[in-house]
Structure 1
Amino acid sequence: MTTREQQRPVGQLLREWRDRRRISQLDLSISAEISARHLSFLETGRSRPSRDMVLRLGEQLEVPLRERNHLLLAAGYAPVYSESGLSDPDMTAVREAVRLLLAGHEPYPAAVVDGGWNLVDANAGIGLLTRRVAPWLLEGAPNVLRATLHPEGMAPHIVNLGEWRSHLLGRLRRQVAQSADPVLSELLAELRGYPCDQAVPEVEVPGPGDIVIPLRIREGDDELAFFSTVATFGTPLDVTVAELMIESFYPADATTAEYLRSL
């Protein structure tokens, strides 16, 4: 968030979050157990919210922890949610849990990404998906969406690129709507500009027999198919922990399962 955005009145920010969630003043006041009149005064700046009130409204509006800190700053209070680095001593238990999940999922691919879709960690199985990605796309903390959809990334080797692209862009679009993160908005615009020689469905509609959207990739003469699950920490009180996502891939057919067992 820019300095200018941080200096905007907290009432204006609260109103924007309420509008984004499509909640009326009356409904929010009821869920937050305050009067609609008081909420109106807070949004217009006629009243200054207490620290606890900012936190209560942020909770009711399901504002991400990072943005709750911004609300507190706008109201003149110090942030309450820490943003630790994964290498910090306090994050030892989190690191160990992540490594346990990644190692236990082998030989199937699994990766951990942060809130911006940058790779944090991965197991050895992820190499099956990234082996043909241009090295420059994997430097530093690579962005997994960029590495997947870029023409020099996985895209040329994804059999159902249009379908998978639609799925990923849909996930990112929903995340942008949920978080209002300008960095994610820029990433979405960038990814939309990448070429795709397949039709990209606007709505995910299942085909005959489909129960999940598979990722289908070419591997020599074979076609491998995966579906994925996403795990997050259930009770985060730290911005970093709240934004971590662990995506685990599973074989979607017998051919893929046998191929992975043979590695």
Structure 2
Amino acid sequence: MHDVACTIVPPNRKPFLISRVDDRIGNNTATVDFDKVIGIVESNLPDNGRAFSEVDEDSKTIAKYIIDFLDNEVKQNRLPKNLLPLQSGVGNIANAVTAGLATSPFNNLTVWTEVLQDTMLDLYESGKLDYASAVSLSLSPKGFQRFYGNLDFYKNKCILRPQAIANHPENIRRLGVIAMNTPVEVDIFGHANSTLVGGTKMINGLGGSGDFLRNAYLSIMHTPSARSSKIDKTGISCIVPMVSHVDHTEHDLDVIVTEQG
């Protein structure tokens, strides 16, 4: 299932010969200098996955808008009927979009992303997803049971690559990836903040959203218009006059979607 490819140091580095999601350029094993190995520890501990909360109505509405938008792009002949390779971030909205694709009019879908979540398994089993390339699996405990319990099926439809290959601008641009990610906030100028609440409190790193949004054929940011907190049920607006911190400029984004449209 793995495609382990080690890059060569410049100036001798070669192009990545990837023109399809299922192309392989490396090996399914990693080589090790045995002189550096002093022991091998076998483990049967399961992967420590975590389950996401149930998808809420706002996330379902956002997913519907995104699928309607993609459907219209197909009708206008700006996208093929099976779309282009999809990249999806992590979280409830990303899960809602993936779940929505399972009942969408699109078939023979492909995925070029960093992380596969539980809803990707649903997309496989719906028959809509042909092949996925990722870096890692972010499945719940039940998701891992499903994956390993049907490994003969998934291993022929999934490939795991190094992040240096999956997130490389060359591959993202050549494949024409449709990137979909969730920000902390976006502003009326089209800038997005993906890392710092209030510009100072870091909640996560930039991750692959910077690599994908800048180089994708179509860059989509999806967010609720406001997020509630423990002390504010109305919520803090995610659409602001100016973001408190800029991770992605207006030049990187094509579409911003909320539950309002």
TM range (shorter): under 0.3
TM-score (norm 2): 0.26
TM-score (norm 1): 0.26
Q: Which has the higher strand share?
A: 2
- If you compute each CA radius of gyration, which structure gives the higher value, 1 or 2? 1
